[in-house]
């Protein structure tokens, strides 16, 4: 599988906003959606839908694809803001004269459906809602299709949006931090709970190789594994490949970050990028991790908001000139859903 176009929206570059607003979670730095989406169409779109549609259309444009053969999206919470709006309306209006729009827009497949409607794509359209495996499931689906139909162009993506209610529930359940964003939490995690965030990343892929494209070499998914089982999955995936960088999903939770520390120690020559220091934790965060790995292979750069451990023998060029041929993305959600993706230069 080869990546021919990619786009993302994330909190990268917006961390100071979280500090200034004293937010306990990270919000995305949103673009001018009107570049891609007609203002009239945006009126009824929630945040997750706008992020997904923008990234989906932009990645297709970069790949030069007008009509994908399939659209596959992974999301953990879907359009939560519209769901909250609809439920609040039920209470506020005492179940009378309800506006149906928030309900219509609240379903998880709204994002994939809106993309299809805008480009008039009547082909396969599927949304995976598999918690921490949502994006990985979408990627696996595309991989299976391309094994038999390599010439197909498939749009895949992962998107989730944060709301104050989502954070409050996470904090009460003990898996979200309640303090204002602190970058040191990723270098030296202290206490339980992850820093929540949001983001969207989409990719236009096919089975046809192209010069300088990023190749998705393999995918592994492990459910509720031991550390030994994670290492076994990583070894099977990597084989004899020399890894230049590991894009890891450290979330600031001292209990769950131990998995990442073990992987880093197993491959001491590989540098590491703790990407959630810039985007936070959410169900489909692996998609953003894969976008970061793709950007690293294509442009040799890592965003300054991402915590880097540089293990190269010669690293005078810094993280703006990182020559990476093979990148491992490793992420898990709450210690249950573990996904490993191997990217390489085609």
Domains in the chain: boundaries: 2-206, 214-345
Nearest to 9 by CA among 48, 39, 65: 48
Higher pLDDT, 102 or 238: 238
pTM of whole model > 0.85? yes
Identify whether the C-beta of residue 41 lies closer than 8 Å to the C-beta of residue 232: no
CATH architecture of 2-206: 3-Layer(aba) Sandwich (3.40)
Better-scored residue on pLDDT, 292 or 179? 292
CA distance 63 to 243: 27
Q: Which residue has the tokens 């827009």?
A: 105
Angle at the Cα of 129 from the Cα atoms of 127 and 135, rounded to 5 degrees:
75
Residue 133 to residue 76: CA distance in whole angstroms: 8
Mean pLDDT of the chain: 92
- Residue 316 — very low, low, confident or very high, per pLDDT cuts 50/70/90? very low
Residue 290 has pLDDT above 70, yes or no: yes
- The yes-or-no verdict on residue 233 having pLDDT over 80 is yes
pLDDT value of position 315 = 53
In Å, how far from its chain's centre is CA 284? Answer: 5
Band of pLDDT at residue 88, cut at 50, 70 and 90: confident
pLDDT digits (tens, 9 = 90+) for 240-267: 999 999 999 999 898 889 899 999 999 9
Query: Do the Cβ atoms of 188 and 277 come closer than 8 Å?
Result: no
Confidence of residue 19 (pLDDT cuts 50, 70, 90): confident
CB 129 within 8 A of CB 72: no
CATH superfamily assigned to domain 214-345: Thiolase/Chalcone synthase (3.40.47.10)
pLDDT tens-digit map of 116-136: 999 999 999 999 999 999 999
Between these two residues, 189 and 161, which has the higher pLDDT value? 161
Point out the least confidently predicted range of 136-140, 218-222, 227-231, 318-322.
318-322
Q: Decide if 70 contacts 124 (C-beta within 8 A).
A: yes
Residue whose entry in the numeric block shows the structure tokens 């965060």: 285
Mean pLDDT of 277-292: 96
280-284 average pLDDT score: 96
Is the confidence at residue 85, as pLDDT, over 90? no
Question: Is the separation of the CB atoms in 275 and 292 below 8 Å?
Answer: yes
Q: How far is CA 251 from CA 7, 152, 185, 335, in A?
A: 23, 36, 8, 11
Element of type H or E holding 199: strand 199-206
Residues 197-212: pLDDT tens digits?
A: 999 999 999 999 998 8
Kindly report, residue by residue over 30-44, the tens digit of the pLDDT.
999 999 999 888 888
134-148, 266-280, 306-320: which is most confident: 134-148
Residue 138 has a CB neighbour count (10 Å cut-off) of 29
Average pLDDT over residues 305-327: 77
């Amino acid at each position: 599988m080869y990546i021919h176009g990619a786009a993302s929206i994330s909190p990268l570059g917006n961390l100071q906003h979280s500090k200034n607003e004293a937010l306990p979670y990270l919000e995305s730095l949103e673009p001018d959606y009107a570049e891609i989406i007609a203002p009239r169409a945006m009126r009824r779109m929630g945040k997750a839908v706008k992020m997904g549609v923008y990234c989906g259309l932009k990645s297709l444009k970069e790949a030069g694809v007008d009509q994908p053969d399939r659209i596959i999206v992974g999301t953990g919470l879907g359009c939560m803001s519209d769901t909250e709006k609809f439920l609040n309306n039920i209470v506020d209006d005492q179940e009378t004269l309800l506006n149906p729009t928030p309900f219509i827009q609240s379903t998880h497949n709204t994002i994939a459906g809106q993309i299809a409607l805008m480009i008039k794509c009547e082909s396969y359209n599927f949304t995976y809602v598999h918690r921490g495996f949502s994006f990985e499931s979408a990627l696996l689906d595309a991989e299976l299709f391309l094994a038999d139909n390599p010439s197909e162009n498939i749009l895949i993506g992962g998107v989730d949006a944060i709301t104050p209610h989502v954070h409050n529930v996470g904090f009460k359940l003990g898996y979200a931090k309640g303090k204002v964003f602190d970058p040191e939490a990723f270098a030296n995690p202290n206490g339980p709970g992850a820093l929540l965030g949001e983001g969207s990343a989409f990719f236009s892929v096919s089975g046809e190789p192209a010069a300088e494209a990023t190749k998705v070499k393999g995918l592994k998914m492990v459910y509720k594994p031991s550390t030994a089982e994670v290492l076994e999955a990583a070894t099977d995936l990597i084989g004899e490949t020399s890894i230049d960088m590991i894009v890891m999903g450290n979330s600031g939770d001292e209990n769950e970050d131990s998995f990442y520390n073990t992987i880093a120690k197993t491959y001491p020559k590989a540098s590491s990028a703790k990407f959630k220091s810039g985007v936070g934790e959410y169900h489909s965060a692996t998609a953003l991790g894969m976008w970061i790995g793709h950007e690293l292979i294509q442009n040799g750069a890592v965003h300054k908001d991402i915590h880097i451990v540089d293990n190269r023998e010669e690293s005078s060029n810094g993280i703006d000139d990182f020559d990476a041929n093979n990148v491992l993305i490793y992420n898990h959600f709450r210690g249950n859903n573990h996904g490993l993706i191997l990217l390489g230069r085609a």
